Each structure stands twice: as C-alpha cells, then as structure tokens.
Amino acid sequence: MATAVPAACLRAPCSSPAAVARRLGAGGPSLRKRHCAVAPVAAACGPAPPRLLDNEEAVCSVRRRVLVAGAAAFLSRPNPAASEAKKGFLPVVDKKAGYSFLYPFGWEEVAVQGQDKVYKDVIEPLESVSVNSIPTSKEDIRDLGPPDKVAEALIKKVLAPSTQKTKLIEAKENDVDGRAYYTFEFTAQAPNYTRHALGAIVIANGKFYTLTTGANERRWEKMKDRLHTVVDSFKIENRI
C-alpha cells in the first residue's frame, strides 16, 4: 500500500536571495550554488540567469507543481507486489460453499464425480487442483489430531489408491485469520509414474474441506512454486 506523502513535503521553501544570503553567512555556500539546489529547471549549477533571480517566486511555483505531480503519480501507481502475486493465475470464489483459491492460467475446469471443483492441465493430466468437502461435527481441524497423523491417514484412505505407495514428506499447521489449516506434501507412486502433491485441509462451516494439487514427479521442479501458490491461496470464509 502506498504511503501518503505529507503536504509539507510537497512544498519547497521559497526564500528570497537576500534572506538566503543572511542565513548562510559569509562562510556558507554561495547564493549561486544554493539557487541551483532549489531550482531543478537549471541545466547545471552555473550562474543563474538574471530573469530567474528576478522571478524566483515563479520558479518555486513551478517546482511545487512538479513535486505534486510526481507524488500523485507515485501514489496512483499500482502495487507491483500485489500484481505479481496473481500474475499467471485465475481466481475461483465460491461464496455459497465459502471458499476461494487460485489456479494456474491455462488449466481447464472438468467435472469429476465426488469433487466440488477440479481444474487440470489437458496436456499434463497429473497437473491439477481439486476441492472437496464433507459434513463433520468437528469444529476445528486440530480436533482430529496433529498435522502428520491427520495428513497420513487422509493420504492413505482418500487421496491415493491403496495400490500406490505413498510417502508423507512434510505436514504442518498454519494459522490464517485465526483459523487453523493443515498443509502437507506427499508423493504417490504408481507402476508407471509418481505424483508429487500438496494438500490443505481445514474445518469450517460444519464441513471438512480438502484442497489437493500436484504434478508428475518429473515436472515437480518446474511446477512446485506454482503449486505452492495454489495451496497458499486456499481460504475459507464463513458461508453466506
């Protein structure tokens, strides 16, 4: 967010040459050098043309207009960090279900039975994100146990077929706006490929929400930053 520039910072001191000379005294910088410092319209710090000395108030007025215009341009400039954070991604906002997240530009929505939302790359089918929710009587994800235990049980029972060899790499708890989320990283090995995946789980609105995204292991290094962006963007709001 841009910081407001105090009005006092936009006003240049417009003292007369005589007043400047009195303040500087005999040992201070020359009037010529002082005039160059406050008059950016001069091409160099050489002798100031007499007409500028005679019309110093007009010069100060021009300087003030330049400073104000520059400050206005700075304040109206978009925040580069905010723009960069969403570059290459598209948002999904489901107000009825109460969640939102980002997915990489170019992925397409597909219908998958048992899933609320699924977006995937049609060329690389292992690159996808899915969201699912089921009713629960629990009120907090921590009621189910620590992150590693909950993540491991979910991976083995829900997120990967029993025929695949799974490995939990990391699981941790994150606090977002006062609500606990568990995020985790894992791999699921099939006979002819290995999927490297990330997940986020949270309880809210009387539901257990799960977001999972991933890619083929051979493309993990290329995709991991984008997949982390997807997981980090997952947010639950109170359902409307």
The answer as to whether 207 is a domain residue is: yes
The answer as to whether 210 is a domain residue is: yes
Q: Please tell me whether residues 42 and 150 are part of one structural domain.
A: no
The predicted pLDDT at position 229 comes to 97
The Cα–Cα gap between 72 and 69 comes to: 5
Say how many domains are in the chain: 2
| pLDDT tier, 238 (very low <50, low <70, confident <90, very high otherwise) | confident
Mean pLDDT, range 59-86, rounded to an integer: 44
Instruction: Give the domain CATH number at 117.
Output: 3.40.1000.10
The answer as to whether 126 is a domain residue is: yes
Residue 240, pLDDT above cutoff 60: no
Which range of residues forms the domain containing residue 212? 82-236
The predicted pLDDT at position 189 comes to 97
The Cα–Cα gap between 89 and 181 comes to: 22
Q: Please tell me whether residues 121 and 230 are part of one structural domain.
A: yes
Q: Is the dihedral of CA 138, 140, 146, 151 positive or negative?
A: positive
Q: Please tell me whether residues 88 and 67 are part of one structural domain.
A: no
* Each residue's pLDDT tens digit, 76-120: 333 333 334 478 999 999 998 999 999 999 999 999 998 999 999
The Cα–Cα gap between 103 and 227 comes to: 8
Q: Please tell me whether residues 112 and 155 are part of one structural domain.
A: yes
Q: Please tell me whether residues 42 and 96 are part of one structural domain.
A: no
Mean pLDDT, range 155-183, rounded to an integer: 96
Q: Please tell me whether residues 168 and 92 are part of one structural domain.
A: yes
